[in-house]
Amino acid sequence: MANANVINVTDATFDAEVIKSDKPVLVDFWAPWCGPCVQLGPVIDQIADATVGRAKVAKVNIDDNAEIAARYRIRAIPALLLFKGGEVAEQLSTRSKSDIVAKLEALA
């Protein structure tokens, strides 16, 4: 079931939803065949719920949106990028919900 607080962005909507956002954005690059990506999904949903109004959370399916994945040189998934002011602020290696929420809120 889709979480209303998570935005599914595409090659066509990425700039409007992420680059031009006035809030920090966590972008989860994923694919449906990726086991670790699927396992991370509920954590991404919880992060979105925990940061409503202060940050945005977006997902990019790399199979359907290869242009964006190539632009940010995504070679392994899941990949989590934090954007602030249209730029990549950080590439996250952590999968800890509390760490990710803290990093998002520090940028807000």
Cα–Cα distance between 31 and 54 in angstroms, integer? Answer: 26
Mean pLDDT of 47-73: 96
pLDDT at 96: 87
Per the annotation, the verdict on 34 as an active-site residue is: yes
Angle 83-86-92 from CA coordinates, rounded to 5°:
15
pLDDT at 77: 96
pLDDT at 95: 73
Mean pLDDT of 46-65: 96
3-state DSSP assignment of residue 35: helix
Per the annotation, the verdict on 80 as an active-site residue is: no
pLDDT at 51: 94
8, 13, 23, 34: the catalytic one is 34
Which band of pLDDT confidence, cut at 50, 70 and 90, is reported for residue 2?
Answer: low
Mean pLDDT of 13-26: 97
Q: Which of the pair, 95 or 52, is modelled with greater confidence?
A: 52
Q: Catalogue all structural domains in the chain, each as residue range(s) with its CATH number.
A: 6-107 (3.40.30.10)
Residue 45 and residue 88 in contact, taking contact as beta carbons nearer than 8 Å: no
